């Protein structure tokens, strides 16, 4: 029986999650319908634009994404600290970018205050909006529903566009996070849709590479802030250049269909993450095939299972093999 989302998303275990949404239609989310000859490639822009928009609204950071022919991948970071610093007005203004709100919230934005007897209602509404703006289920809902409505309108039909539930995986440590991000960024290369990471359209890796050429990082993607240290700013605890090298070299091995030799330039990264180079190629290329609802080292998987009342530690043997 599928586990409820509120049980899968646990900030006590990790703020990082890998989510996948799959399309249920034969015509696919994107790509070309071979029977009719109609192209749906423009829908990739819809998804990418929506992801960039949501990154500016939610207290959820976008770490990696890839828009494929019949599914999308996102790696997300729940930024609860950011949400708690928002004022009442900022919370309401952010929610109003998604929905019109209530008469009370509209009055507050227009006048800057509400009548005293309405204040408890306003406080409760703001608390609800603040919780939603750091909730992955709401994030995925705001990502998928507009795309489904737009696609239905274009196709002149009704009914489900996405599968009923998106898949969610908890990423319990740095190794799981790095492996999952690389897996997502290399999805188009794996699927023979692109020859190199920088040529793979509608992916986070392409945006990062383009920005890196100008010495920058995309504002809508969670930034790389370097290796763990004291007083570290919020961001991914890797060096950007190390990660780009890691993805490029892994992608090169994937494209040739063999493991090949591993360039020494990214061995320090794998050593810090405690992953053998042979294991890295396995998990970066076949992440979903070897992982379950939570991904990480043996100790973290055990703690996760105990915290969630699970009798079995799904994926434990494979985790011990790949992350040991």
d(Cα 172, Cα 9) in Å, to the nearest integer?
Answer: 11
Domain range 12-79+135-323, CATH architecture: 2-Layer Sandwich (3.30)
What's the pLDDT band for 44 if we cut at 50, 70, 90?
confident
- Best mean pLDDT range from 182-191, 228-237, 284-293, 315-324: 182-191
- For β-strands 167-171 and 294-295, DSSP reports them as parallel
pLDDT at 62: 97
What's the pLDDT band for 82 if we cut at 50, 70, 90?
very high
Where is average pLDDT lowest: 114-118, 203-207, 298-302? Answer: 298-302
pLDDT at 1: 44
The pTM assigned to this predicted structure is 0.82
d(Cα 63, Cα 48) in Å, to the nearest integer?
Answer: 13
Q: Identify the residue whose tokens are 């009923």.
A: 164
Q: Tell whether the model's pLDDT for residue 32 goes beyond 80.
A: no
What's the pLDDT band for 8 if we cut at 50, 70, 90?
low
d(Cα 240, Cα 227) in Å, to the nearest integer?
Answer: 10
By the 8 A CB rule, do 159 and 120 touch?
no
- Give the chain's end-to-end CA distance (angstroms, integer): 30
- For β-strands 60-67 and 16-22, DSSP reports them as unpaired
Tens of pLDDT along 96-137? 999 999 999 999 999 999 999 999 999 999 999 999 999 999
List 20's β-bridge partners, or say none: 73, 167
Q: Where are the domains positioned within the chain?
A: 12-79+135-323, 86-132
């Amino acid at each position: 029986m599928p586990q409820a989302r509120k049980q899968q998303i646990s900030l006590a275990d990790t703020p990082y999650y890998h989510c996948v949404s799959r399309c249920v239609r034969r015509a696919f989310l994107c790509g070309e319908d071979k029977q009719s000859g109609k192209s749906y490639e423009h829908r990739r822009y819809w998804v990418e634009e929506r992801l960039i928009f949501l990154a500016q609204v939610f207290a959820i950071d976008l770490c990696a994404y890839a828009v494929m022919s019949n599914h999308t991948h996102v790696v997300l970071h729940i930024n609860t600290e950011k949400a708690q610093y928002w004022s009442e007005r900022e919370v309401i203004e952010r929610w109003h970018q998604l929905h019109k709100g209530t008469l009370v919230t509209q009055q507050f934005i227009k006048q800057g205050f509400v009548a005293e007897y309405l204040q408890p209602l306003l406080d409760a509404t703001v608390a609800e909006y603040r919780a939603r703006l750091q909730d992955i289920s709401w994030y995925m809902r705001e990502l998928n529903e507009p795309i489904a409505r737009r696609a239905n309108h274009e196709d002149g039909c009704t009914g489900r566009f996405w599968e009923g539930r998106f898949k969610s995986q908890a990423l319990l440590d740095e190794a799981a996070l790095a492996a999952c991000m690389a897996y997502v960024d290399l999805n188009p290369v794996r699927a023979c849709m692109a020859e190199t990471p920088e040529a793979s359209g509608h992916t986070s890796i392409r945006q990062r590479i383009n920005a890196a050429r100008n010495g920058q990082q995309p504002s809508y993607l969670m930034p790389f802030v370097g290796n763990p240290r004291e007083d570290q700013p919020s961001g991914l605890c890797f060096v950007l250049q190390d990660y780009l090298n890691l993805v490029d070299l892994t992608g090169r091995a994937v494209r040739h269909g063999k493991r090949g030799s591993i360039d020494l330039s990214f061995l320090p990264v794998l050593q810090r993450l405690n992953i053998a180079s042979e294991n890295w190629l396995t998990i970066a290329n076949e992440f979903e095939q070897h992982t379950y609802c939570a991904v990480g080292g043996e100790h973290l998987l055990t703690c996760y299972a105990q915290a969630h009342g699970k009798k079995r530690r799904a994926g434990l043997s494979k985790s011990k093999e790949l992350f040991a």
